[in-house]
Amino acid sequence: MYIYNVTSNIDNSVHDEWLNWMQETHIPDMLSTGKFTAARIVKVLVEEEMGGVTYSVQYTTKNKETLELYYAEDADRLRKEALLKFADKMLSFRTELEIISDH
């Protein structure tokens, strides 16, 4: 299993709008691609020098091949939607994680 992790710092001026949009629109859109089996939003409990609030959004997928399909078929469109809506009020970076074991 893989986790596609998107860590985002959100400016306070759009925080509530972003969080609502993530829960009501973006995460359902990500799940509707059929490439992810679950998603979770977690708040990063660190005070950023640049301000804002940081979240990690973790999307679970079954394997690297499925994640590659997401990149090829869906990523550009879904990333553009976020950038158009929140522009310079959101800074994100992405990481891929492989689940070794759960206990």
Helices then strands (H, E): number in the chain?
A: 4, 4
pLDDT bracket for residue 48 (50, 70, 90) = confident
* Sequence-distant (≥ 6) Cβ neighbours of residue 22 within 8 angstroms: 41, 55, 57
pLDDT band at 46 (very low <50, low <70, confident <90, very high): confident
Query: For residue 92, what pLDDT band results from cuts at 50, 70 and 90?
Result: very high
C-alpha span between 33 and 35 (Å, rounded): 5
The residue written with tokens 């522009």 in the block is: 87
CATH 3.30.70.100 fits 2-98, yes or no: yes
Do the strands 2-10 and 53-61 form a parallel or antiparallel pair, or are they unpaired? antiparallel
For residue 3, pLDDT over 90 is answered with yes
User: What pTM did the predictor assign?
Assistant: 0.92
pLDDT band at 47 (very low <50, low <70, confident <90, very high): confident
Q: Of all helices (H) and strands (E), which one includes residue 83?
A: helix 76-86
Find how far residue 50's CA is from the centre of its chain: 20
Task: Report yes or no: 7 and 56 within 8 Å, Cβ to Cβ.
Answer: yes
Mean pLDDT of the chain: 95
The band of 13, judged by pLDDT with boundaries at 50, 70 and 90, is very high
